[in-house]
């Protein structure tokens, strides 16, 4: 799992009266960060606490990290020293992936998050959970939510497409004919014509159908040819 690594530390002064904001944090895990502000820039979180943390605490850590990228976060912490460690977020979401389907409802709700990093993390987690546990009656709803993300238009930052790509990976882990309509939409829509998503969709379609699209010189063209010949698929 690849994540953007960011260590953001901002301090104009070292006065201990300046409030300190540790990211990510959760009130349910008060021991994660040291209470002391001595040697602030040497402060490290105690990630060994994460395996014993509640699922809700881990979810709050991920939310707090993602929310730190929101437009209002910098304004809210203007007078504070901010210490951020993305490794806590990475460890928290990987721990969630090991806990059965406990975090699935939360992860599904984050597929629509305003931050593309949140959508990436949620898509990755949903894919991991779906690959390990049967969804039973929820499978159609999950496919629909992942499909919405996979085909979500890019609004501001081209990095947003990484979330779309991870949604496709999650869909591939579910597999089966129910994901073909989403792959068809990406492969045949002018919106994605110049995007790497069409290559990814062609390869996934080949795996679903057990057809060698990936061995052709132009996998998207081969996949589109098959889709044209099979309009009801």
Confidence of residue 44 (pLDDT cuts 50, 70, 90): confident
Which DSSP string do the residues of 23-40 spell out, in sequence order? ES--TT-TTSS-S--TTG
Does the bond joining 24 to the residue before it have cis omega, within 30 degrees of 0? yes
Across the beta sheet with 20-23, the strand order is 9-10, 81-84, 20-23
Q: What is the pLDDT of residues 86-106, one digit of tens each?
A: 999 999 999 999 999 999 999
Which of these, 54, 121, 63, 68, lies nearest to 94 by C-alpha position? 121
CA 75 to chain centre: 25
pLDDT tens digit string along 114-171?
999 999 999 999 999 999 998 888 999 999 999 999 999 887 778 889 999 999 999 9
Which of the two residues, 10 and 212, has the higher pLDDT score? Answer: 212
For residue 3, pLDDT beyond 80? no
In the chain, where the domains are located = 1-34+80-96, 100-173, 175-233
12-21, 53-62, 140-149, 165-174, range with the lowest pLDDT: 12-21
| Percentage of the chain modeled with pLDDT above 70 | 89
Write down the pTM of the prediction. Answer: 0.87
Rg (CA), the chain: 21
Which stretches of the chain are assigned E, i.e. beta strand?
9-10, 20-23, 81-84
pLDDT level of residue 11 (50, 70, 90 thresholds): very low
In angstroms, what CA-CA distances link 84 with 36, 42, 88?
A: 16, 12, 9
Q: How far apart are CA 129 and CA 95, in angstroms?
A: 12
């Amino acid at each position: 799992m690849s994540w953007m690594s960011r260590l953001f530390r901002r301090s104009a002064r070292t006065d201990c009266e300046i409030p300190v904001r540790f990211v990510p944090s959760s009130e349910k895990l008060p021991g994660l960060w040291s209470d002391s502000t001595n040697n602030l820039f040497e402060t490290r979180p105690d990630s060994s606490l994460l395996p014993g943390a509640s699922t809700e605490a881990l979810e709050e850590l991920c939310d707090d990290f993602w929310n730190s990228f929101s437009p209002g976060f910098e304004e809210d912490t203007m007078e504070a020293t901010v210490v951020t460690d993305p490794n806590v977020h990475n460890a928290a979401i990987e721990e969630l992936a090991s806990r059965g389907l406990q975090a699935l409802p939360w992860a599904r709700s984050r597929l629509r998050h305003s931050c593309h990093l949140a959508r990436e993390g949620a898509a990755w987690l949903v894919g991991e959970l779906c690959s390990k546990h049967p969804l039973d009656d929820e499978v159609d709803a999950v496919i629909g939510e992942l499909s919405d993300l996979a085909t979500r238009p890019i609004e501001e930052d081209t990095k947003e497409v990484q979330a779309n790509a991870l949604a496709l990976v999650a869909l591939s882990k579910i597999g089966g004919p129910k994901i073909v309509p989403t792959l068809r939409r990406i492969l045949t829509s002018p919106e994605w014509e110049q995007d790497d998503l069409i290559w990814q969709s062609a390869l996934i379609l080949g795996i679903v159908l057990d057809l060698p699209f990936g061995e052709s010189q132009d996998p998207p063209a081969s996949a589109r040819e098959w889709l044209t010949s099979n309009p009801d698929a």
